[in-house]
Amino acid sequence: MDIFQNKDGFFGKPNFASIQNHTRDFWNLANKLKSELGDKGYYMDIYLNIMFEALANIDLNTASFVADTICSNIISDCRIFLGVTPDHKKSEFFELVKKHIEEHPVDFKGNHTKAEFYAGDIILENLELLHDEFKKQYKAKALKDINSTTAKKYLQKISEIIEKEKVDQFNDILYEAFLVNPIGLSITQHFLVFIVGTLLYDGTEEAPKLYQLMMEEE
């Protein structure tokens, strides 16, 4: 696929009709289930209020800030270990960085270039670990005020009245309607963009870019 032909490769194409259908299905099922709850219909109101608060708190700016901080800490630790900025403060990733660099020697000239290489390599090799770290930090920043305990409590109450299969279907449709692209996927792309940025590092105008050095290394 030539992503530059019409540049759609950068944007993708969501299934808009599917999203609209899922939204209509969600409201139809929500009304039906609330009716089945009878005088306990307020269970649904409490549960949906918390769910909508959680979805409304999805904040790409905060997510980007958390991901940027993780990447910045890793490249900073690489520079500290390689002696580029030895006096800077180490982050929680320093031991991970130290172990990786010690176990993966390279022949690139210049510690600045090595720091860029190792930062990208460490992020790539530890995507799952960094994704988990992102989730921990993001929850603490953006979702700290969401009362998930109450949501679980009222979901359980709903499930005691309405068969679990219907409740599961309801939650599945809710996510299909309102959570097209989970934030974790966006942040993984954020990490990959950072990695690609390190590949373009050249230090000086005369020096080859890092990706060229890596091809020579292979």
Amino acid code (one letter) for 218:
E
Rounded distance between C-alpha atoms, residue 29 and residue 23, angstroms: 10
φ, ψ (nearest 5 deg) of residue 19? -60, -45
Q: Evaluate whether 76 touches 174 at the Cβ level (below 8 Å).
A: no
Sequence-ordered alpha helix ranges (H) in the chain: 8-11, 16-37, 42-56, 60-81, 94-103, 111-125, 127-142, 148-161, 164-178, 183-199, 210-217
Looking at the structure, do residues 115 and 73 belong to the same domain, yes or no? yes
Say whether pLDDT at 68 is over 90.
Answer: yes
Instruction: Convert the pLDDT of each residue in 100-109 to its tens digit.
Output: 999 999 888 8
Q: What residue numbers bound the domain in which 129 lies?
A: 60-144+181-218
Q: Evaluate whether 70 touches 133 at the Cβ level (below 8 Å).
A: yes
In sequence order, which residues have a C-beta less than 8 Å from that of residue 195 and are 6 or more positions away? 120, 123, 124
Looking at the structure, do residues 67 and 173 belong to the same domain, yes or no? no
Look at residue 143 in the predicted model and tell me its pLDDT: 81
177-207: buried (b, 16+ CB within 10 Å) or exposed (e) per residue?
bbeeeebeeebbebbeebbeebeebeeeeee
Looking at the structure, do residues 53 and 138 belong to the same domain, yes or no? no
Give the whole-number percent of the chain exceeding pLDDT 90. Answer: 64
φ, ψ (nearest 5 deg) of residue 123? -65, -45
Rounded distance between C-alpha atoms, residue 17 and residue 41, angstroms: 30
Say whether pLDDT at 218 is over 70.
Answer: no
Looking at the structure, do residues 48 and 124 belong to the same domain, yes or no? no
Residue 39: DSSP 8-state: G
**Residue 121 φ/ψ region, left for φ over 0, alpha for ψ in the -120 to 50 degree band, beta for the rest:** alpha
In-domain check, residue 213 = yes
Looking at the structure, do residues 66 and 154 belong to the same domain, yes or no? no
Looking at the structure, do residues 216 and 156 belong to the same domain, yes or no? no
Choose between 193 and 214: higher pLDDT: 193
Say whether pLDDT at 59 is over 90.
Answer: no
Looking at the structure, do residues 134 and 158 belong to the same domain, yes or no? no
Instruction: Convert the pLDDT of each residue in 112-145 to its tens digit.
Output: 999 999 999 999 999 999 999 999 998 888 888 8
In-domain check, residue 5 = no
Choose between 137 and 3: higher pLDDT: 137
Please give the tally of structural domains in the chain: 2
Look at residue 152 in the predicted model and tell me its pLDDT: 94
Looking at the structure, do residues 75 and 44 belong to the same domain, yes or no? no
Residue 59: DSSP 8-state: -
